[in-house]
Structure 1
Amino acid sequence: INYASFTLQLTSFKCGGFAIGFTTSHTTFDGLSFKTFLDNLAALAANKPLAVIPCHDRHLLAARSPPRVSFPHPELIKLGNLPTGPESGVFEASKEELDFKVFQLTSDNILSLKEKAIGSSGSRVTRFNVVTAHVWRCKALSAPYDAARASTILYAVDIRFRSRPKIT
């Protein structure tokens, strides 16, 4: 598909008002970076300094040379050869009839899950991680048992505000 990764159109009206329209691809912006872009665009339009100064220093995200792996990375293991062809695409699940249900967890429910997860170890467990682990466990237990079946859960983490110097 041939399309622009970002398009912006500004329409001004005789009354002095204006409208801004845009299209973008999620590969161009995530939510936070798009908000930052709009904040800076508004600052430029108001003839003010940029709200957030961009950092274009790419070496901040570069791998070490030579590589130094200090702990195992099981999330990167190869899970075996994935089948190819029209019947094995990522949209295979769309052929199934899916059920939808919302489960509401109260603060007490989450606290109980945290207490069970921590046990006597005294480890720190976040609310997000304990709920994610619980949902993943329920999903794994709902499938027929298969000792050879691998199960993986991955989620995106915004590390920009933890990095030094800050990445914008």
Structure 2
Amino acid sequence: MKPAMTVVFTILFLIINFKVEAQRVLPQLTVNTLSGSAVNTRDLLKDQQPVVISFWSTICKPCLEELNAIRDHFEEWKPETPFKLVAVAVDDNRFSAKVRAFSSAGRWPATILLDQNQDFKRALNVNAIPQLFLFDQAGNLVYTHTGYVPGSELQLQKALKDLHSK
């Protein structure tokens, strides 16, 4: 291989690995709650509990199914594997009222955040929803999955158990 190509591949390798490494920690940026209050994403860790972050949209049926499935198991899982659930809506400003209605109707035991400019989504390199992340108490990524099929929530439960057994 030509030396110039080797340099190009080395640089690309380093960029890709840096990007992946950067995604392994909960990023610090500001998003809003449904009431309009600004929240620093690193403040999600202040309870010293693992944080499950689910990116969703009001027009995404699998997103709603995943959040409902987690809700259905939340009280059962909480004593053994306590965690904080955060549902991040990626709908734009036009749909903020719908976000409120969907989250209220779903009775999700979650902090609902609005990522209207999709800054949080970009910071975690979310390309498709639903996408779920599990961060430990220090903000390190320990589990992620994209998409939802019934039973996927059991993989989250296993990841939470693994995290709590450490």
What range is the shorter-chain TM-score in? under 0.3
Q: TM-score, normalised by structure 2?
A: 0.23
Larger fraction in strand? 2
Larger fraction in helix? 2
Larger radius of gyration: 1
